[in-house]
Structure 1
């Protein structure tokens, strides 16, 4: 399949790219990010978009299947896989984009998610040491963060939803509309993850101590009502027939035996739960890498493992530290997502893509626990001379003119 096949395909791809620059610059201002940094993040993410294009054209991938299916004819709207197909179909019919143009549109979604992720990390590290701020920047520029969210597929939209949810969690009471947008985007591509987001928001609004009783009841009731409607829908989409224990266990056992083909397959059915969670988040390790892509992922995983160890240690040493972000919401969503995905994903290749639906949240939680807030040093007045001490004692101001009686 060709990236472009007409002059309009080339023009539309260029227009999408430059429109993305304008949108990224505007969004950067909303996130408090300078234009230079915003455009640097966009350029970095676009670089991986081009690499992703080359990869799927060379080795194949879901992105090609999405585009071919969308080019084949109209599809009824539905969430999940066909949500991506439906959106891609709208791009083809409405803008006449080629495969490259569609890639650049999804790249814009992922770039906005990266921008929100970067802005959130800068907020929680702005009063920390320069080393921690540099570590936050290093994490944002990890290849795994940008690669999977740079192409046609669910990952670009789910990463955008995660980034918006992360930014909203820094001031959850005032950014409820933003978290609603994040849930709607996640619902389009992964309804079961949207249900987890809703459960996290419900717990945060109901148990947050700074919320008035009336506001807690109102917001909590709305969140619980939405959760009651969407969580069963998400479970049904994931393949769980009913929300009872037996059905959930049957679903987990069935998922542990799927996707066992390919070099990334691992047998998680015989692992303990802690080992399943470790495998999902931190493997492949460097000695398990069998290709240049696996090696890059392994290096990223080692950085995440270091952050996890050091951040966990810092939280244990300072359990009473106060934080700006709504950690109840973030921990609720991240742990539920990690638990469910870690127990049901038996392929490291799939895990490398899907873990970025909650890993940015874990990164912020751990990074914000590291280091100490720098104290603002107030300027001190120079010591008074003996003459000035006398003036001060008798209330005399040297510059004041003496009045005649």
Structure 2
């Protein structure tokens, strides 16, 4: 579907392919190396000039990388989710992994598929650090090459998660990971600031410039003037719009169905004690939520164009959906353990806490 969309609309995928085939940055492979857009071009160079990949082949290759991202996210979910949670008669886990917007933007020759794979590897590795540290490192490297600021957010969120989680990790592992994350933050901090064009002393000035960029984006066909919105309105627009009445074209109408679903599950999550659950949650819950909310707040301030918002949020929305389904699963685990303890007491056997 993305390939059909890109055939009739301007696409970054075709521009990547054009720049590589025309040696836009220079004749040598090393001329293309860098972070963000340059890394995609650098990675695609040997496939195009060495193996003779066509545009269609590159689309298929990067779609496979996006698929691998789903595989690792699914393995991460499955390790954490023990019980089936139904919504409208359907398995909520399956509904999450079949949301079309997630697959649409992770199936193209571009940054979307790679960043999705990197974040999937990161969280799969975080779920069993001693045995998967190499997977964690690969995920961090991929995420850094595509969007260093996203890695910065995930590292900062993991610091919060490790520091303030009350279960699931021993203090020894906590201290080790806090130390590693802090050192890594120190190494990449300046690189991150350089990439996004910021310096420590001009952060306030650049924050004001976000309003100007948002205004430019809002001039597009699918744009919204977010400069007059409050921050909560900006975040709501980023996460849950379009909603039919402001859908930009057929793609926007399709996404509106998904946004209604996301809005419903979010409201149910909040009214069923979601905020308190995040406070009490383990390190994975806190890391996923703080990564999601921090990236969302940052992107919401500049994604005045609904098309950009639809594309950007697909990279982090799955983290919030993990928090939601984890809450339902933890409640079922507590109920199950309570039934087991009650059955043991009834049978005259001592119930062991935690079993």
Query: What is the RMSD of the two structures over their aligned residues, measured on CA atoms?
Result: 2.7
Please say if 1:315 is aligned against 2:273: yes
- 3-state SS in 1 of match to 2:200: coil
Contact 2:13 2:108 in 1 (8 A): yes
Matched ranges for 1:264-303 at <5 A: 264-303=222-261
- Name 1:121's counterpart in structure 2: 77
Deviation (angstroms), 1:177: 3.3
Query: After superposition, what is the alpha-carbon deviation per residue over 1:278-328, rounded to whole angstroms, capped at 9, x for unaligned?
Result: 000111111222422111111111111111111122234864997566222
- 3-state SS in 2 of match to 1:262: coil
Which of 93, 98, 113 is the aligned partner of 2:54? 98
- 3-state SS in 2 of match to 1:165: helix
Which of 185, 189, 208 is the aligned partner of 1:227? 185
Which of 221, 246, 249 is the aligned partner of 2:204? 246
> For 2:160 and 2:206, how far apart are their aligned partners in 1?
22
Which of 143, 166, 190 is the aligned partner of 1:186? 143
- 3-state SS in 1 of match to 2:262: helix
Contact 2:13 2:110 in 1 (8 A): yes
After TM superposition, the score normalised by the length of structure 2 is 0.83
Contact 1:169 1:329 in 2 (8 A): no
- Name 2:346's counterpart in structure 1: none
> For 2:92 and 2:298, how far apart are their aligned partners in 1?
29
After TM superposition, the score normalised by the length of structure 1 is 0.74
Q: CA 1:289/1:115 → structure 2, altered by over 3 Å: closer, same or farther? A: same
- Name 2:103's counterpart in structure 1: 146
* Structure 1 gap segments, 5+ residues each: 1-50, 381-405
- Name 1:204's counterpart in structure 2: 161
> For 1:303 and 1:222, how far apart are their aligned partners in 2?
38
Q: CA 1:164/1:320 → structure 2, altered by over 3 Å: closer, same or farther? A: closer
> For 1:290 and 1:256, how far apart are their aligned partners in 2?
17
Q: CA 1:317/1:272 → structure 2, altered by over 3 Å: closer, same or farther? A: closer
Query: After superposition, what is the alpha-carbon deviation per residue over 1:313-369, rounded to whole angstroms, capped at 9, x for unaligned?
Result: 223486499756622221221121111111222111011111122111011101222
> For 2:151 and 2:157, how far apart are their aligned partners in 1?
10
> For 1:109 and 1:320, how far apart are their aligned partners in 2?
31
Q: CA 1:181/1:221 → structure 2, altered by over 3 Å: closer, same or farther? A: same
Deviation (angstroms), 1:193: 1.1
Q: CA 1:133/1:95 → structure 2, altered by over 3 Å: closer, same or farther? A: farther
Matched ranges for 1:360-379 at <5 A: 360-370=318-328, 372-373=331-332, 375=336
Contact 2:162 2:283 in 1 (8 A): no
- Name 1:155's counterpart in structure 2: 112
Contact 1:315 1:369 in 2 (8 A): no
- Name 1:79's counterpart in structure 2: 35
- Name 1:89's counterpart in structure 2: 45
- Name 2:291's counterpart in structure 1: 333
- Name 2:5's counterpart in structure 1: 55
Deviation (angstroms), 1:213: 4.8
Query: After superposition, what is the alpha-carbon deviation per residue over 1:168-203, rounded to whole angstroms, capped at 9, x for unaligned?
Result: 344456544333222211111112112112212233
Please say if 1:69 is aligned against 2:28: no
Of residues 245-254 and 218-227 in structure 1, the stretch that sits farther from structure 2 once superposed is: 245-254
> For 2:78 and 2:144, how far apart are their aligned partners in 1?
28
> For 2:90 and 2:131, how far apart are their aligned partners in 1?
26
Q: Figure out how many residues of one structure are paired with residues of the other and give that number.
A: 329
> For 1:150 and 1:287, how far apart are their aligned partners in 2?
27
Q: CA 1:315/1:244 → structure 2, altered by over 3 Å: closer, same or farther? A: farther
Deviation (angstroms), 1:237: 1.2
Q: Report which of the two structures shows the higher radius of gyration computed on alpha carbons.
A: 1
> For 1:355 and 1:227, how far apart are their aligned partners in 2?
24
Contact 2:165 2:280 in 1 (8 A): no
- 3-state SS in 1 of match to 2:46: helix
* Structure 2 gap segments, 5+ residues each: 344-355
Contact 1:170 1:326 in 2 (8 A): yes
Contact 1:169 1:325 in 2 (8 A): no
